[in-house]
Amino acid sequence: KHGLGDGASYLVGWLYWYFWVGVLAYEAVIGGETMHGWFSAVPTWAWSLLLLAVFVGSNAVSTRSFGEIEFWLAGIKVIAVIVFLVAGTLFALGLWPDSDFSVQNLWDHGGFAPNGVGQALTGVAIVIFAYFGTEIAVMAAAESEDPGTSVRRATNTVVWRILLFFVGSVALIVMIVPWDELPEPTDVSSAPFTYVFELFGLPGAANVMQLIIFTAVLSVLNSGLYSASRMLAAMGDQGFAPKAVTVRNKRGVPLVALVASTVGGVAATIVNFAFPDTGIFDFIMNSSGLVALFVYVIIALTHWNMRRNMTPAEVSALEMKAPLYPWVNFLLIAGVIAVFIVMVVQESSRTQVWTSLIATGVVVVLWPLVKRNLAKRRAEKDGAL
């Protein structure tokens, strides 16, 4: 709130929480469908609710239990990606059995950007939401014994991890298989990673990838519940949400906020299975996407405003300084505007734009009511002092 005021704090907090509620609902549905495919005797909706219940229980124990579970779930993903990177590099260089040097696929078959830069931007608009959530590492680090060191380490490692694991994997895929020869990804068995793993000679590649994807779903459920509950509790602490969500157990876990965040996911899950034709679930999924970009814009503006109001002494005392300030802030905002324009122009993503604007509009409309309650709460606090 010290950056752009109470209104911005209220807006970004509720949009962030709303985003994770939508993600939790989506991942619960995907996880339930996966479990139903393996154990069909139990209906999909029951598996979805059971998965949510399991991770509510694990998150309710302590922050440590969240971290330990996330460590093992993320470890499976990391091992899979490392194996892919090592095997893929050898394959692209022609050092893998029955492989040929194929790095030139990056610029052959029509050039590096055969369909133009515009198509690349369209691709960014589709996948950028998958990168939302990297800030969870920083949120968890803030609850560690040495927050300053932990936050700094978590922040500094995010960028190179994205470059190595995500960008590196995609680069290897298009080196190994020409972009115009990749199969249409209709399910796990035809996904690019599965297709390339089959080229490596991995037996049962589709089953292996399905298991890896399932662990990724569980990881998102685990981290999403943690992130949503912490944000809701923090808003309660600041007066932007009811006081009830600030209730914490002896280990500091915000139990009411945790359950409240789950209620949204449970409701969306039930609506998806009970009323599939109402479009309510689709609205939640579509509207939670673009709000992530709105959150990043507010964060960039907040950081810029806080830094420009600092004295030179305050700036020099910062433990972490954003590189290329303030240009990196403006670059982020310009990037979001570019993605927004692409999504408006593209008919396939236009629905996400309008539903996200509606969801954001609802939050904005409720601000005057929250503002009055906030003023009353602060007045009562000042009177008590």
**Residue 170 sits in a domain of what CATH number?**
1.20.1740.10
Average pLDDT value for residue range 58-65: 82
Most confident range, picked from 18-32, 89-103, 257-271, 272-286: 89-103
Q: Report the pLDDT value the prediction gives residue 146, as an integer from 0 to 100.
A: 67
In a domain, 383, yes or no: no
Q: Is 165 exposed, middle or buried (0-12, 13-18, 19+ CB in 10 A)?
A: middle
Q: Report the pLDDT value the prediction gives residue 142, as an integer from 0 to 100.
A: 61
In a domain, 196, yes or no: yes
In a domain, 1, yes or no: no
Q: State yes or no: pLDDT of 320 exceeds 80.
A: no
Q: Report the pLDDT value the prediction gives residue 1, as an integer from 0 to 100.
A: 47
Please give the structure tokens belonging to residue 144: 């560690």
Cα–chain center distance at 370: 27
Q: Report the pLDDT value the prediction gives residue 137, as an integer from 0 to 100.
A: 63
Q: State yes or no: pLDDT of 143 exceeds 70.
A: no
**Average pLDDT, rounded, for the chain:** 84
The pLDDT confidence band at residue 91, using thresholds 50, 70 and 90, is very high
In a domain, 306, yes or no: yes
Q: State yes or no: pLDDT of 192 exceeds 60.
A: yes
Higher pLDDT, 358 or 187: 358
Q: Report the pLDDT value the prediction gives residue 381, as an integer from 0 to 100.
A: 73
Q: How far apart are CA 176 and CA 168, in angstroms?
A: 12
Q: How far apart are CA 298 and CA 304, in angstroms?
A: 10
Higher pLDDT, 195 or 126: 195
The pLDDT confidence band at residue 179, using thresholds 50, 70 and 90, is confident
Residue pLDDT, tens place only, 330-356: 998 998 888 888 888 877 778 878 888
Give the chain's domain count. Answer: 1
Higher pLDDT, 6 or 280: 6
In a domain, 157, yes or no: yes
Average pLDDT value for residue range 145-167: 74
In a domain, 274, yes or no: yes
Among the residue ranges 64-78, 237-251, 275-289, the one predicted with the least confidence is 275-289
Q: State yes or no: pLDDT of 384 exceeds 70.
A: no
Q: State yes or no: pLDDT of 126 exceeds 70.
A: no
Most confident range, picked from 84-93, 106-115, 220-229: 84-93
pTM for the whole thing?
0.83
Q: State yes or no: pLDDT of 261 exceeds 60.
A: yes
219: domain range?
6-378
In a domain, 385, yes or no: no
Cα–chain center distance at 198: 29
The pLDDT confidence band at residue 279, using thresholds 50, 70 and 90, is low
Average pLDDT value for residue range 35-49: 91
Among the residue ranges 5-14, 219-228, 347-356, the one predicted with the least confidence is 347-356
